[in-house]
Structure formats: structure tokens, C-alpha cells
Amino acid sequence: MFGKKCSLCGGKLNSDMICTECGLDNTKSDKNYRINQSDCDHMPLTHVHDKDNGKNSMHVPKRKTESNKKSKERKKMPDDIFGENRPEIDSSAKWGYRMNGQGSKKKFGQPDPESRKKKGLGIVIGVVIAAGVISTLYGTYKNEIKYMANYMLKDARFETPEDPAIRYLYAAREIPEEGENADYELGTGHYIVGFEIPEGVYTITPESETDSLDVDDSENQIYIYEENGEKMKDIRLYKGAVLTLECEKKMRLHTENAQETESVGMNAQTNPLTETITAKGEKTLTAGEDFAPGIYDMSLVSGGDVNVDIYDEDGDEEDYHCLTSDGLYGETFHYLVLPKDATIELEEDTKIKLVPTEKIESTDYQGFFEKF
């Protein structure tokens, strides 16, 4: 057996064809000893081994056909689920099909170019129409819109805009350009237009950056507040309006078209109150209890701050004023209207004096605040 070697390990064979290295009997046929071979070598990779009566046998899954595509676990959909209204599926669409309310067939999916154009054109037309409507409304009511926006944001902005179209939007009339020249120097207090100063278009000049003016004209719906330390122009004061100034010393008013100056103060009444009220120390005075309701010129004689609260008939705060020890708002408040239940609060060591204003417009003290 010279030259013969073990078919398993390549070792030497003895005379009986037995490998001296591994002991393999090389007399057996290679068909029974398939080295590095398997019965599965020629089978598909998807085959499996089943147990059949304890014996191993191979099973190759059948290839799926039309008859066995559905799994046993999957329930078959009834053929008549849609009845006569079975929809047709558009194979070109990506999202399947749907049915309308009448049961008719309607394909859907990606819109065709024509419908896409129509839809886009519809959107453009809608935008153009909306823009046109908004533009028309704004063009017609732009001042009203600005006025309302300013009115709602007045507290946030703290000052009203200078645009006359907004400030005087609802004025019932224009103040005539022709008139007389007039100049005034006024301190802190209320001034009724047509009663103490004539109607006109004013330029008002403050002396301090903290000086402020407030115009309240309910008849013409004019409400102006300014505090900027600069000359304020085109301040239109109509008859019946209330100009309120708060200043450290004086504010200068100038107009070149004062109206009916001869009638200013003609309807003034003599104040029915004559008693001067003096109070000092930390306390709160109430109109109707500690002094008579009415119209006064209040002066801070000495000491700390004075706070004045005025309430309406429902008890809600209607107005507020103060004089401070630093003189920021002056030392006297002119034409201070104190209806019933108004309070004056004094700090410790404060002394004030209430002197009845000589000439007044009316004794309807609560009605005065209807101008606001």
C-alpha cells in the first residue's frame, strides 16, 4: 500500500488499510465516508430539518404560489365587503382610494398637474381678494384703527402720538385759524377751557423734564398726555375741555388764535364756600365728614407728602393727585374738586391749607369728572 495515505488525516496506512495515525479504516468506500461533505450540500439554503417519528428528515418549504399566499392566521376579507360599490384602485396613485358620500368611485393620490394648477390659482386669487379687502378697510378706517390702537395702548406708551389725524380724529369741528394772541403762565392744577383760558391751538413749554400735561375732552374724544420736557405744539383746547398741569413751578402757554376771549369767565359762579381749612399731622381727611365738599386751592405748607383720592358714586377711584415734599408737583394745586367721600391723606409732620377757589364753573362736583 506504498504511496497510499489516510483519506482523513493523510497518515500512513498499514497492510490492513488502517491508518496508523487516526485509526480510520480506509477499506470503506468514499461514498460512505464523505469527508467535509453533507447531505445538505445540494439543498437550498431555506430548507429546514423536521422530526418525523423520531427520525430526522429534511423538509424544503414550498415556493409561494397564488394558492398559498395568505397565511393561515390571516382572515380572508369577504369578497362582498363593498357590495356593489367596490372602489377601483388607481395603481398610479401612491395613497390608494376613497369613496364619496354617494358611494361612487373616486380615485385619489397625487393630484394631476391640471388640478394642481387650478388649486394654486385659487389660492392666489383668495390671497389677492383678502389683501384687497384689508387694504380697502384700512384705507377707509386707518385713522380709526390707529386711534383705537393708541387708546388701548395709552397706558403702555404713556404718551399719546403727535399725529393730529389720530389725536383729533373725532373732533366735532376745527378751531378757526383766526383769533387773538394770548399767553399764560400756569402752575399745577385744573383749568377749564372757555372758563379760565380761551379756546385755541396752543404751544405749551415746560420748565422741567418731569412737567406734564393732560387734556380730557369727552365731547370731542380728545385725550392727551405728555411728559417729555420739550415744547409741545398743536395742543388743541376746545371749549369745555379740562387741561391738567403738574409742574414744579410754571408752564408757559401761547396761542395765536384764542377764541372768544371776552367771554372767558363770564359764566363764573362765586364759590359758596368761604372757610379756609388747615390740617396738620398724620391723618386722613374725608370730604363730607372733616370738611365740606367743594372746590379748593390746596397748598402744601410744610412737611411730607399729600395724597388725594377722588371716588365716583360707586366707590371706585376716579382721580388721584399729590403734592410732594420735594416740590416735584409744585406747592399748590389749583381748582382741586373734592366731591363727597374724597380723601386727603397727610404724612407725619405735614401741614396743608385748603382755600376755596374764588370763582368756579359749577357746584356739581361729581359732574366735573364727566368731562374726563
What is the per-residue DSSP string for 215-243? EEETTTTEEEEE-SSS-EEEEEE-TT-EE
**How many CB atoms are closer than 10 A to CB 170?**
13
pLDDT by residue, tens only, the chain of 372 residues? 444 678 778 777 776 778 877 888 877 654 444 445 555 555 555 555 554 444 444 444 433 333 433 333 333 344 444 445 554 544 444 444 344 444 444 444 445 556 555 556 667 677 767 766 666 665 565 455 545 554 454 443 344 556 777 889 899 999 999 999 999 999 999 999 999 999 999 999 999 999 999 999 999 999 999 987 889 999 999 999 999 999 999 999 999 999 988 888 788 899 999 999 999 999 999 999 999 999 999 999 999 899 999 999 888 888 989 999 888 889 999 999 999 999 999 998 899 999 999 999 999 999 998 877
Each domain of the chain, given as residue ranges in start order, spans: 1-63, 91-152, 164-263, 270-360
In angstroms, the CA 263 to CA 243 distance is: 18
Give tens-digit pLDDT for 271-309: 999 999 999 999 999 999 999 999 999 999 999 899 999
* Alpha carbon 87 to chain centroid, angstroms: 49
Give tens-digit pLDDT for 314-371: 888 889 899 998 888 899 999 999 999 999 999 988 999 999 999 999 999 999 988 7
Domains 164-263 and 270-360 share a fold: yes
∠ CA 284-288-289, nearest 5°, is 50
Hey, what's the cell of 219? Answer: 365731547
In angstroms, the CA 125 to CA 118 distance is: 10
Q: What is the 3-class SS of 132-191, one letter each residue?
A: HHHHHHHHHHHHHHHHHHHHHCHHHHCCCCCCHHHHCCCCCCCCCCCCEEEEEEECCEEE
In angstroms, the CA 333 to CA 188 distance is: 5
In the CATH hierarchy, which fold is given to the domain comprising 164-263? Jelly Rolls (2.60.120)
In angstroms, the CA 220 to CA 173 distance is: 9
Single-letter residue type at 294: G
Assigned CATH class of 270-360:
mainly beta
